[in-house]
Structure 1
Amino acid sequence: MYDYHRRVLVTGFGPFGTFKENPSWLAVKTLHDTILNPKQKSIHVTSLNIPTVYSAVLDTVPGLHSAPPVLPEKYTSPISLPLPDEGFDLIIHVGVAGPGNLHVERLAHKTGYALPDYDKQPPPLVNTKGTLRGFGGPRYGAEFADEIFTSIDVDKLVRELTTGPKPVSVQTSDDAGRYLCDFIYYCSLAESQREGRGCPVLFVHCPPVGNMLSTEEVAEGLKRIIIASL
């Protein structure tokens, strides 16, 4: 019944700080159950809202990389379609940053986190002294590097998107922020590595609504990023 060439998952974050509705989710939710390139190799997009909470990331992201994906029931909204038995072909996480262009992040960091999440909970401790927070053993041990780079050539991706008749307002970045955005990116890259299917992962930062880009422009930029990535 659902015969698509590619299945893509795009996640956005829930509320945090002054954002009652996270700008990332405002854009991401418009992509849910959409089909890109319908006359060519069709790409089906599924959207998922993840709370801006460290424990929610750890509870959710490992299952995203399974084949088929497995999700905790409390985080499944708005997924309503059958998940792909073979797993997703691309996973893109989206979060909000400062005003400006879309930023495609090249790498994520294992440790160095400090800020509490939306539930006012600190990042996970890595050592018993409480001086290092982020990812550690046993699940994220020494086999995972301090920095993990996406398998996608971000520089090439951005060059392709910023040239041509309809350029996208996008640039590369190596600073995902050491908060939930960086945290979910590292977790997802590590889980992709663990799963071994080669599912590519990206993180994209979007600006607050109306700070250079509208929600519609962010959504359109994400569509272009998805197509170019595949």
Structure 2
Amino acid sequence: MGDSYIKYKVLVTGFGPFGTYKENPSWLAVKTLHDTVIPTAPTRGQPPKGPKPDSIHLTSLNIPTVYAAVLSTLPDLHAQPPVLPPLYTPPTTRPLPEDGFNLIVHVGVAGPGPLRAERLAHKTGYQLPDYERQSPPIIIGGGNLRGFGSPRYGDEFANELFTSIDVDTLVKDLTEGPNPLSIVTSDDPGRFLCDFIYYCSLAESQRAGRGTPVLFIHCPPIDKKLSTAEVAEGVRRIISHVCAHL
């Protein structure tokens, strides 16, 4: 499609290696979307020859599966303009948006099955060590409680943060029709790096005060229901749908 005017600029993140994954399935899918332009999806009830779709530019970012990397990177992603660590992202042909991204989507790997659109993230309860074998941060004054706390993530942030995106409608729309997407809703992002980055991103969106929508998508391991190409196409359709309803 023509892309002389880009209405939406979207950041999509995947994770680096961890466990048995020398290349994380989330990044293998996400990196194929980098520096591409896609159209918004038709909205429900729109006539076939309705308004021309808007253009969406995608930027991909690879974030290490490391708690410290999430904490040091996420605030900059929500800044105006955002700052992306050059080590983690390929070059892009377009400048980063001065007023911030319109949408941030995080993708991580889970178990076999469909894509999972997560509705919420948790502030505490993290225990598992990361790729560098470092434990999640311990909360000062919280005993052995680990996760987010003061001074940056104090009481102004709830124990559960919910995405502003209507995940139920998103999933319903994408699973109906002639080309249904393999996706379900979920309230269990896992209390590991996926949950951790989601909470951090939702909190930073709240702190920035611009209402930037944030979404987390879990993908399966490669060919454990979906191929890398199918995951990438699923993420593309999700972004297209969300931007059409912004």
Q: Aligning the two structures, in what range does the TM-score lie when normalised by the shorter sequence? A: over 0.9
- Aligned residue number for residue 115 of structure 1: 128
Return the offset for 1:72.
3.7
For structure 1, which segment, 143-152 or 33-42, has the greater mean C-alpha deviation from structure 2 after superposition? 33-42
| Aligned pairs for 1:185-224 within 5 A | 185-224=198-237
Shift of 1:128: 4.4
Aligned match for 1:93, one of 106, 110, 114: 106
Q: Which amino acid counterpart does residue 15 of structure 1 have in structure 2?
A: P
> C-alpha distance in 1, partners of 2:226/2:86?
33
Partner of 1:78: 90
Cα offset for 1:40?
Answer: 2.1
Out of 142, 150, 159, the residue aligned to residue 146 of structure 1 is: 159
CA RMSD of aligned residues (A): 1.5
- What is the SS of the residue equivalent to 2:108? strand
**Is the contact made by 2:140 and 2:150 (CA closer than 8 Å) also made in structure 1?**
no
Look up the SS of the partner of 2:117 in the other structure. Answer: strand
**DSSP 3-state at the match of 1:127:** coil
Following TM superposition, by how much is the alpha carbon of 1:78 offset from its aligned partner in structure 2, in angstroms?
1.4
Q: CA 1:2/1:130 → structure 2, altered by over 3 Å: closer, same or farther?
A: farther
Aligned residues: 229
Q: Name the CA shift for 1:126/1:2 in 2 (closer, same or farther; >3 Å).
A: farther
Local SS of the residue matching 2:116:
strand
Aligned to 2:67: 54
Overall identity of the aligned pairs, in %: 69
TM superposition shift of 1:130 = 4.4
Give the deviation of 1:15 after TM superposition: 0.2
Q: CA deviation at 1:154?
A: 0.3
Q: d(CA) in 1 for partners of 2:91 and 2:183?
A: 28
The answer to whether the Cα contact below 8 Å between 1:59 and 1:72 also exists between their aligned partners in 2 is no
TM-aligned CA deviation for residue 164 of structure 1: 0.8
Mapped to 1, the partners of 2:75 and 2:216 lie a distance apart of 16
Q: 2:91 & 2:104 partners in 1: Cα distance? A: 14
Q: List gaps (5 residues or longer) in structure 1.
A: none
Alignment-derived partner of residue 27 in structure 1: 29
Of 15, 18, 26, which residue of structure 2 is paired with 1:16? Answer: 18
The answer on whether the counterparts of 1:46 and 1:79 sit within 8 Å (CA) in structure 2 is no
Residue by residue over 1:98-124, the C-alpha shift from the partner in whole angstroms, topping out at 9 and shown as x without a partner, is 000000000000000000000000000
Distance 2:75 2:142 in 1: 27
Query: 2:227 and 2:143 mapped to 1: Cα distance?
Result: 41
142 and 165 in structure 1: CA distance in 2 versus 1, 3 angstrom threshold: same
Structure 1 residues 125 and 79: alpha-carbon distance in aligned structure 2, compared to 1, 3 A threshold: farther
- Per-residue CA shift, 1:48-79, capped at 9, x if unaligned? 0000000000111111111110234443x214
| TM-score normalised to structure 1 length | 0.96
Q: Is the 8 A contact 1:185 1:203 kept in 2?
A: yes
1:184 aligns with 2:197: yes
CA contact under 8 A between 2:10 and 2:58: conserved in structure 1? yes
Sort the Cα spacing of 1:78 and 1:2 in 2 relative to 1 into closer, same or farther, 3 A.
Answer: farther
Give the TM-score normalised by the residue count of structure 2: 0.90
| Structure 2 portions without partners, runs of 5+ | 41-51
CA distance in 1, matches of 2:210, 2:5: 20
Task: From the superposition, tell whether residues 63 and 2 of structure 1 become closer, same or farther in structure 2 (CA, over 3 Å).
Answer: farther
Residue in structure 2 matched with residue 137 of structure 1 by the alignment: 150
Question: Considering only CA atoms, is the larger Rg found in Structure 1 or Structure 2?
Answer: 2
SS in 2 for 1:99: coil
Distance 1:23 1:177 in 2: 17
Deviation at 1:165, TM superposition (A): 1.1
Instruction: Look up the SS of the partner of 2:9 in the other structure.
Output: strand
Whether the aligned pair in 2 keeps the contact of 1:14 and 1:52 (CA below 8 Å) is yes
